[in-house]
Structure 1
Amino acid sequence: MQKEDLDFFRKWLLDYVSQFSSPDSFIQDNINLKFGHTERVCENILLLAKTEKMKDKGCRLAETIALFHDLGRFEQFMKYKTFKDSESENHALLGVKILKKTGVLSRLSLKENDIILKAVEYHNLIEIPGCAGSKELLFYSKLIRDADKLDILKLICEDYKEEEKCRNRALDFNLPETPGCSESIVKDVLNGRMAKMGDVRNQNDVKLLRLSWIFDINFPATFTILKKHKYLDTIISSMKEAEEVHIIEEYIESCLNAAAINSSNRLNRP
């Protein structure tokens, strides 16, 4: 992939997103939210790629994946007014469908096409499929998942600090702010597993689900950023009337420290 290809993709995305401009402030604010998210995920993925000492060509491929990872979000929100896949459609698969339909990737090699399409498809799965393909595809899939999680955690932590009237309910999927947590989600977290969106019942559950993302972090730099900005601390402190919070907090902290050590001892690059 050449620099000219990446420049083309950046302009193409700008033109594509402009189709979703809306006089409805709720829609427009969330379209802007996702475009801003895309820009920051591009920054994150380049940061992670460079800490892994990737060459320019690899960095360009990584940034292209980040550019398109949430392509389906714009059509999803315009059509359904929600970011919740279970109440609309899988935004990753929708993004893949759009990429194929528009043929925007046709200027690239078949190998690059395949890596981009599969990494976009896998970025929101609870785990990367066991037979994901080449070591290279697995690497890029892990890269986009880490870069994506970092910005979502940043975004929601900023939202939790907002005054109640200014909060964006789309980020919490419009779920009720009731006390307590779902037993199945607490069980998943305390067993070191990623929680499932299907078990989420209230805002505390959403917060636990996002805390459980530490069980799917792949790069040492990601752990460093998480600890530096205290995203997990912010989420935990925002949970209301949940007896399990202190137990979960201690467990998450121990897992984060252990995972950071394990990750630093692991070779991620293809």
Structure 2
Amino acid sequence: MKISVVGGTGFMGSRLVKALETVGHQVAAHDRSTGCDLLTGEGVARAVASADVVVDTIDAPAFDASASPFFRTTTDNLLAAAGQAGVQHAVVLSIVGIDRIPEVDYYQAKVLQEARLAAGPIPYSIVRATQFMEFVDKIMSWTTEGDVVRLPPTPIQPVAADEAVQALADVATGEPLGGILNVAGPDVFPLDDLGRMTLQARPGDDRTVVTDASAGLFAAVHADALTAPEGARLGRIHYRDWLA
């Protein structure tokens, strides 16, 4: 199978390319560094030519309201080029629970991206993943001031990136879902406890986690909106084991 991965040199895209190549698929990685710019449309037709499947793993450059026009334009450009090339399956990587959090601009931008995909001319699949275990440090950095990390007690169900990638690869090489597959880790933690657990595993990090219900992006999340809904595909890697 010929698969074009847009964003294929990024954090998730590069992992997906490797996973697909390992099982014998013909995979091409594309992004601006290879001459494929979804925002301007430059090189997109060339990137999807002769592909059976296209997978979009790109991210918006900012988490604010600018993400919506970014995803509208990039998704439309990709679908237009893919439709002309006769691509049979378009796959997008998204985030669990985004339709339940209207207060977060970035999540609403991803909802828009999903809607454009679903309304497009190509059979599609959406893979929504929970927050990656590899990104917990980044999440903590957003609300770190000196040696204090302020985190809300928002329930989080982190998934190992490699397990999310395997789900993405399985979907990309299967029949189009015409809908959503949710992917999550096996355990749910309050984000503040997750932060404490992370710091305890790193003796050289002297930061302290303080519970603050108003701190950072995840303060806007309602109840368990970012945890796996019924029927989700759950990974087997536990966060404590991943830390170890």
With a CA cutoff of 8 Å and minimum separation of 6, indicate the structure with the bigger relative contact order. 2
TM-score scaled by structure 1? 0.33
The answer to which structure has the higher strand fraction is: 2
Greater share of helix residues, 1 or 2?
1
